[in-house]
Structure 1
Amino acid sequence: MNSLFFAYVMLGLAIISEVTGSTFLVKSEGFTKLWPSLAVIVLFSIAFYLLSQVIKVIPLGIAYAIWAGVGIILTAIIGFFVFKQSLDAAAIIGIGLIVAGVVVINLFSHATGH
């Protein structure tokens, strides 16, 4: 299997772990609930471990930009649908700009190792 492809798979798993951990962060109620708190610790540990492996192949700045950008988008979507948090026009425009940035990095940047 191509190491770049595998790095992107690990990056996707890191993003999923981070977003899931962030969701449990809300459920932990400030680390006052045991099981959601443990889930946060485990999921963030997995996310950072995977990110540490990804940056062996993909440059840190690119990997982190994708990780953070996609994480922000997914977290906002979960906040909207699961926790009924509202998004105003500025938030939607900002998220759109993040999506555009991630697309530009992946399609046009030669720094990603494509």
Structure 2
Amino acid sequence: MGIAMVAGAIVSEVIATLSLRASHGLSRPWPTLVVVIGYAAAFVLLAQALKSLDVGPVYAVWSGLGTVGALVGGVLLFGEQLHTATVVGAGLIVFGVAVMYLGGGLAH
């Protein structure tokens, strides 16, 4: 169940981050509301997941995959440009998350 909560936290965080871009500096009410709800949901889900999972690997998975998710969302939704260094960096993030996950496990 903890892994499902981490997945939900990642999805909520990515939605909130993309809505932050769409909010245009928090000047648009609907995207701003999604920002607040999305980040609140992400933190609640992450807090619940940490009842049964180790904080280091979970935080690496949450922040790393959230970063990559925001990158992909920015490209797909806002037409942001991908550069070679960006793709390499995203790959390194995924590799680092995998190493932390495999090296430390998740459950305590």
Fold-level match, TM-score > 0.5? yes
Residue 72 of structure 2, aligned match among 74, 77, 91? 77
Aligned partners of 2:104, 2:44: CA distance in 1, in Å? 25
Aligned partners of 2:92, 2:18: CA distance in 1, in Å? 23
Secondary structure of 1:58 counterpart:
coil
Aligned partners of 1:85, 1:110: CA distance in 2, in Å? 34
Residue 95 of structure 1, aligned match among 90, 96, 106? 90
Query: 2:106 is matched by which residue type in structure 1?
Result: T
Which runs of 5 or more residues in structure 2 are unaligned? Answer: none
Tell me the CA shift for residue 110 of structure 1.
3.6
Aligned partners of 2:99, 2:20: CA distance in 1, in Å? 31
1:46 is matched with: 41
Which runs of 5 or more residues in structure 1 are unaligned? Answer: 1-5
Residue 30 of structure 1, aligned match among 25, 48, 56? 25
1:109 is matched with: 103
TM-score by length of 1: 0.88
Aligned partners of 2:48, 2:26: CA distance in 1, in Å? 28
Aligned partners of 2:3, 2:25: CA distance in 1, in Å? 32
Tell me the CA shift for residue 59 of structure 1.
1.4
